[in-house]
Amino acid sequence: MTHFVLSAPAMTARGSTRSSIAAPSLPFQAAAVISGVVAMAVASRFAIPLPSGLGVPITLQTYALFVLAGVFGGRLALIAVLAWLAIAALGAPVLADGAGGWRAVTGHTAGFLVGMAAAAWVCGRGVERTRGWGPLTALFLAGHAIVLAVGWAGLASFMDPGPAFTFGIAPFVPGAVVKSLAAALTVVAVKR
């Protein structure tokens, strides 16, 4: 039999209610977003080009993304990813292979970049209800599925869906498994 315990929110001196868990301070949030932008930029520098010629390399971006989501939560991870993308759109060389500028953000990799923003939110929110490296790995695999599905849709807007999947998605699947496990283990270690 399951028992549920309901409790009233904590009362402040003025009688208003507030959550019993304090929100992170503004300086902490700013530092989390800045460190997230830096982590995404550094992870972008580790790029392995694929022979397909699509311009979509294998990087450590999703590893960094899921560590950020796991440590800072969905809201701050999403803000960090959006800030990283805004900086890239303005021309900073923070994407894979040092790419930057509007064309880099809206080109063949646009679907992957949008997928990363969605996965940051979804996985960051999911981490709040997930414990242990196994469930975290599964959550981050689901996040990779989001990134790859949106990336595939983006590539399919430039080419036929079959080759888009064969050359632009399938090569990323083994790395997605490894990066999901590595990110889960990192988050578990950091949160100890």
User: Burial, 123: exposed, middle or buried (Cβ in 10 Å; 0-12, 13-18, 19+)?
Assistant: buried
Query: Alpha-carbon distance 110 to 16, whole Å?
Result: 45
Closest CA to 76 of 44, 39, 101: 39
Helix boundaries (H) for the chain: 26-45, 61-89, 102-106, 110-127, 133-156, 161-168, 173-190
pLDDT at 145: 98
Query: Alpha-carbon distance 115 to 155, whole Å?
Result: 12
pLDDT at 106: 94
Cβ contacts of residue 16 below 8 Å, gap of 6+? none
pLDDT at 52: 66
Cα–Cα distances in angstroms (integers) from residue 60 to residues 32, 40, 96, in the given order: 19, 8, 9
Q: Domain limits of the chain? A: 26-190
Q: State the pTM of this model.
A: 0.84
Listed as own residue / partner, the contacts of 168-172 with beta carbons closer than 8 Å and 24 or more positions apart are 168/52, 168/54, 168/56, 168/108, 171/50, 171/52, 171/58, 172/58, 172/144, 172/148
pLDDT at 97: 87
pLDDT at 86: 98
pLDDT at 20: 52
pLDDT at 127: 95
Query: Alpha-carbon distance 165 to 4, whole Å?
Result: 46
pLDDT at 143: 98
With b meaning 16 or more CB within 10 Å and e meaning fewer, what string describes 47-56?
beeeeeebbb
Q: List per-residue pLDDT tens for the chain, 192 residues long.
A: 444 333 334 444 444 444 456 778 999 999 999 999 999 999 999 988 877 666 678 899 999 999 999 999 999 999 999 999 999 999 999 999 899 999 999 998 899 999 999 999 999 999 989 989 999 999 999 999 999 999 999 999 989 999 999 988 999 999 999 999 999 999 999 988
Cα–Cα distances in angstroms (integers) from residue 185 to residues 41, 99, 101, 128, 165, in the given order: 21, 30, 34, 16, 29
**Cα dihedral 101, 157, 79, 82 in deg (nearest 10):** 10
Give residue for tokens 């979509």: 56
pLDDT at 47: 84
CATH of 26-190, one of 1.10.10.10, 3.30.70.2860, 3.40.50.1100, 1.10.1760.20: 1.10.1760.20
